[in-house]
């Protein structure tokens, strides 16, 4: 038994080493994000251009331990695994924001097969080289936010006809809910689903202590989209 365990540990260690050596260093993340943003006609956000409420909404909804982990959320992985086992499905992936970013910019959007292991190595490498604020800004620059639409800047323009910096809590919470299922929660296609998802985001923000109950109540009364504004975005 001990010999088998030792062999298994050795194989695992070798696999991790091979993945570490065989994956990109992460030094070219910025160039890759810029290239992907150009391909999708989205805008590259700098850390200072991400509205704090949007950052809080995305972290609360997508990766609540984002500021504590180093690319991989072990607690989230275990919780997702237990949920999937209990519900007999592959419903929750347990991926962090960093893993989602490297999947898009390094792995062509696929985390199946060996890519699932590769994105672990890449996520750790990226976390060693970049700040959390930079990682989040890059993620929000290229994430899918609707059918054929990428990036939060484009989402703000399409749904609210305003720059991202001009949006309030309710609007930012709605945008933060899009990445999980962009087409399903698109307010232009299904306003009711978008509003329901916004409430989930607001509830997550409240649970994490980012906002107050009165803010949730006020934000929950806002319409899912706004009419075209003169001058647009």
For 203-217, what is each residue's pLDDT tens digit? 999 999 999 999 999
Measure the CA–CA gap between 142 and 86, rounded to whole angstroms: 33
**pTM summary value:** 0.87
Q: Same structural domain for residues 35 and 121?
A: yes
Measure the CA–CA gap between 5 and 198, rounded to whole angstroms: 47
Q: Is residue 83 part of a domain?
A: yes
For residue 89, what pLDDT is reported? 47
Q: Is residue 127 part of a domain?
A: yes
pLDDT of 81 higher than 70: no
Q: Same structural domain for residues 137 and 151?
A: no
- Segment 122-135 shows an average pLDDT of 96
Measure the CA–CA gap between 71 and 127, rounded to whole angstroms: 6
Q: Same structural domain for residues 123 and 211?
A: no
Q: Same structural domain for residues 87 and 122?
A: yes
For residue 1, what pLDDT is reported? 56
Residue pair 54/140 in contact by the 8 Å Cβ criterion: yes
Q: Is residue 56 part of a domain?
A: no
Q: Is residue 13 part of a domain?
A: yes
The one-character DSSP state at 43 is: P
For residue 10, what pLDDT is reported? 56
pLDDT of 88 higher than 60: no
pLDDT of 125 higher than 90: yes
Count of structural domains within the chain? 2
Q: Which residues pair with 146 in a beta bridge?
A: 149
Mean confidence (pLDDT) of the chain: 88
For residue 110, what pLDDT is reported? 80
For residue 180, what pLDDT is reported? 93
pLDDT of 152 higher than 90: yes
Q: Which of 20-29, 48-57, 161-170 comes out lowest in average pLDDT?
A: 20-29
Q: Same structural domain for residues 80 and 127?
A: yes
When pLDDT is cut at 50, 70 and 90, the band that residue 80 belongs to is: low
- Segment 26-30 shows an average pLDDT of 96
| Of 93 and 97, the one with more pLDDT | 97
Q: Is residue 57 part of a domain?
A: no
Q: Same structural domain for residues 151 and 217?
A: yes
pLDDT of 66 higher than 60: yes
Q: Same structural domain for residues 218 and 157?
A: yes
Q: Same structural domain for residues 157 and 137?
A: no
Q: Same structural domain for residues 80 and 1?
A: yes
| Of the residues 142, 174, 198, the one at which a domain ends | 142
When pLDDT is cut at 50, 70 and 90, the band that residue 231 belongs to is: confident
Within 10 A of 29 (CB to CB), how many other CB atoms are there?
A: 22
pLDDT of 90 higher than 50: no
Q: Residues 158-182: pLDDT tens digits?
A: 999 999 999 999 999 999 999 999 9
- Segment 60-65 shows an average pLDDT of 95
Q: What is the CATH number of the domain that holds 160?
A: 1.10.3810.10
Q: Which domain holds residue 88?
A: 1-41+69-142
Q: Same structural domain for residues 137 and 201?
A: no
Tokens of 39: 């391909």
| Of the residues 118, 142, 166, the one at which a domain ends | 142
| Of the residues 86, 117, 142, the one at which a domain ends | 142
Q: Is residue 200 part of a domain?
A: yes
Q: Same structural domain for residues 97 and 157?
A: no
Q: Is residue 61 part of a domain?
A: no
Q: Is residue 36 part of a domain?
A: yes
Q: Same structural domain for residues 216 and 109?
A: no
Q: Among candidates 179, 148, 131, which has minimal Cα distance to 29?
A: 131
């Amino acid at each position: 038994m001990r010999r088998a365990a030792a062999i298994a540990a050795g194989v695992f260690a070798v696999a991790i080493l091979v993945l570490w050596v065989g994956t990109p260093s992460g030094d070219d993340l910025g160039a890759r994000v810029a290239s992907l943003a150009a391909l999708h006609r989205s805008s590259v956000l700098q850390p200072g251009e991400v509205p704090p409420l949007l950052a809080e909404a995305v972290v609360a909804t997508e990766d609540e331990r984002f500021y504590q982990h180093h690319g991989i959320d072990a607690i989230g992985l275990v919780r997702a695994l237990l949920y999937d086992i209990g519900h007999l499905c592959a419903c929750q992936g347990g991926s962090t924001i960093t893993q989602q970013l490297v999947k898009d910019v390094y792995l062509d959007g696929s985390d199946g097969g060996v890519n699932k292991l590769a994105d672990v190595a890449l996520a750790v490498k990226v976390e060693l080289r970049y700040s959390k604020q930079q990682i989040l800004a890059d993620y929000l620059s290229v994430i899918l936010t609707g059918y054929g639409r990428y990036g939060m800047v484009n989402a703000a323009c399409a749904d609210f006809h305003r720059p991202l910096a001009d949006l309030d809590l309710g609007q930012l919470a709605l945008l933060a809910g899009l990445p999980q299922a962009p087409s399903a929660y698109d307010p232009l296609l299904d306003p009711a689903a978008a509003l329901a998802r916004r409430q989930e985001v607001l509830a997550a923000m409240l649970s994490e202590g980012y906002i107050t109950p009165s803010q949730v109540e006020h934000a929950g009364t806002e319409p899912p989209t706004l009419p075209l504004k003169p001058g647009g975005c």
